[in-house]
């Protein structure tokens, strides 16, 4: 608090308010022996005592003493909008008068019980004959400062008190940042400015208490903070919170939006299935602004129908999972499917190849009686590739020759009925071969990668 300014006695501006005692000093002094004589007192401004001109009883009652302040004015701290009450206690006022003044503006507010200022929020009251109470309703920040209670003695007597007005924080529209839209990879600076008394402190925080940057911190004590090379993980809502100990604290929500072109992740780029099975293909995509997502086959967009069931699940504002369910696979459903993602910044797609895993029959013989057991392989075969590409499948089915081509270097070919071409198999054994040798040879022909779901029964 700054020291108050010295003020001239207010009664120099209002001569009519000079106290009665000072006016009586100008009257003729009584001679010795006259009524009221015999008592000396020091009038204000005099260098020599003079005889009293008031009756003896007055001096005995204390009327000849100057006014004194009964207690100091208490400094006040008042929240904005409340009422401030300043009290000035004066003993032995006699006929002197009391005024309240605003020190910093040198404004006379009240004299006795009269309000001089045009501020309608101020009132004055004389309480219990010795207290002069100044009330200020609906306190404003501009009311903060020094206030003086003054008695018009000569020299004047006064005491002062300080009114402190505390103001809850308020976030300023400027230069506080508004919602921002930036391209991925650019630099971003968020700003927050607030007013209040005392000056508020500012904290930045993300909604949901997520880390505010790439570090582990969840808050930042600063009016500004910067993010270099912003990416999609920075996208979201940021809260600027201002507080100064005066409730309530306030906050402003700033949305950071990061734009980037579409990207696609495919877990299974190669999927095998048998006829009649139900199959679900899946792509994950990220894009902002929000993308258009759809499936294609043979350059035709796949829509909801009896055979296909496309669906999209939103993970967050920029990430979705695309699924395509083939309800019952038939021979025409094998081939390459594309998941396509588009937004205003670009377009991309990913491919998934669906190939046929046929039903297989394995023959088992045991002399002298031969029993045939048919086992059907119905498992879906998948190969995982994280990178987009069109790798050849490990096993392929040739409809023209009705043969299954294995991934090994051997030249053996199996017919669709499970038999082996003798002219291509130099290891073929006839029925006169022992059971154990025949069994080992036939097990050696089974591609354990492509036909891991098959079983061999013995009798």
Predicted TM-score (pTM) of the model is 0.60
Query: 């990879």: which residue's tokens?
Result: 185
Residue 99 near residue 156 (C-beta atoms within 8 A): no
In terms of CATH, what superfamily is 173-260? Immunoglobulins (2.60.40.10)
- Domain boundaries of the chain, sorted by first residue: 68-166, 173-260, 267-356
225-252 pLDDT, tens digit per residue, is 889 999 999 999 999 999 999 999 999 9
- Over the stretch 127-142, which tens digit does the pLDDT of each residue have? 988 999 999 999 999 9
Per-residue pLDDT at 65: 81
Longest dimension (CA), the chain: 169
Contacts of 70 (CB under 8 A, 6+ apart): 89, 90, 91, 130
- For domain 68-166, which CATH number applies: 3.40.50.2000, 2.60.40.10, 2.40.128.20, 3.30.70.260? 2.60.40.10
Cβ-based neighbour number of residue 236 at 10 Å: 16
Residue 458 pLDDT exceeds 50: no
pLDDT tens string 293-344: 999 999 999 999 999 999 999 999 999 999 999 999 999 999 999 999 999 9
What is the distance between the alpha carbons of residues 410 and 429, in angstroms, rounded to a whole number?
17
For residues 291 and 283, the answer to whether their CB atoms sit within 8 Å is no
| CATH 2.60.40.10 for the 267-356 domain, yes or no | yes
């Amino acid at each position: 608090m700054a020291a108050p300014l010295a003020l001239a006695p207010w009664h120099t501006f209002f001569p009519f308010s000079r106290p009665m005692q000072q006016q009586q000093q100008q009257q003729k002094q009584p001679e010795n022996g006259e009524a009221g004589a015999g008592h000396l007192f020091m009038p204000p401004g005099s260098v020599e005592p003079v005889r009293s001109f008031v009756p003896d009883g007055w001096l005995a009652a204390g009327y000849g003493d100057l006014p004194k302040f009964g207690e100091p004015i208490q400094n006040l701290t008042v929240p904005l909008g409340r009422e401030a009450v300043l009290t000035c206690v004066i003993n032995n006022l006699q006929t002197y008068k009391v005024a309240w003044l605003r020190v910093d503006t040198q404004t006379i507010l009240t004299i006795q019980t009269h309000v001089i200022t045009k501020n309608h929020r101020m009132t004055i009251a004389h309480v219990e004959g010795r207290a002069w109470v100044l009330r200020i309703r609906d306190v404003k920040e501009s009311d903060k400062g020094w206030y003086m209670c003054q008695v018009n003695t000569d020299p004047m007597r006064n005491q002062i008190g300080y009114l402190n007005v505390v103001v809850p924080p308020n976030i300023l529209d400027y230069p506080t940042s508004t919602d921002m839209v930036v391209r991925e990879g650019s630099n971003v600076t968020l700003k927050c400015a607030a007013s209040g008394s005392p000056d508020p402190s500012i904290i930045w925080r993300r909604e949901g208490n997520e880390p505010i940057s790439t570090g582990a911190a969840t808050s930042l004590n600063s009016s500004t903070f910067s993010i270099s090379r912003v990416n999609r993980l920075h996208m979201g809502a940021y809260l600027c919170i201002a507080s100064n100990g005066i409730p309530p604290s306030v906050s402003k929500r700033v949305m950071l939006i990061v734009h980037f072109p579409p990207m696609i992740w495919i877990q299974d780029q190669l999927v095998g299935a048998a006829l009649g099975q139900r199959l679900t293909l899946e792509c994950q995509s990220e894009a902002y602004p929000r993308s258009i997502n759809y499936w294609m086959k043979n350059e035709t967009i796949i829509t909801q129908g009896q055979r296909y069931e496309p669906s999209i699940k939103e993970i967050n504002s920029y990430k979705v999972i695309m699924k395509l369910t083939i309800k019952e696979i038939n021979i025409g459903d094998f081939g390459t499917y594309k998941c396509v993602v588009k937004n205003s910044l670009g377009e991309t797609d990913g491919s998934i190849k669906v190939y046929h895993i046929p039903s297989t029959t394995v023959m088992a013989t045991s002399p002298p009686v031969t029993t045939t057991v048919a086992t059907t392989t119905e498992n879906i075969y998948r190969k995982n590739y994280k990178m987009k590409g069109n790798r050849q499948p490990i096993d392929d089915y040739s409809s023209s020759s009705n043969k299954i081509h294995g991934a090994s270097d051997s030249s053996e070919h199996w017919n669709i009925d499970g038999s082996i071409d003798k002219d291509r198999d130099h290891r073929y054994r006839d029925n006169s071969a022992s059971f154990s040798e025949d069994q080992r040879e036939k097990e050696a022909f089974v591609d354990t990668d492509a036909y891991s779901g098959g079983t061999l029964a013995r009798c």
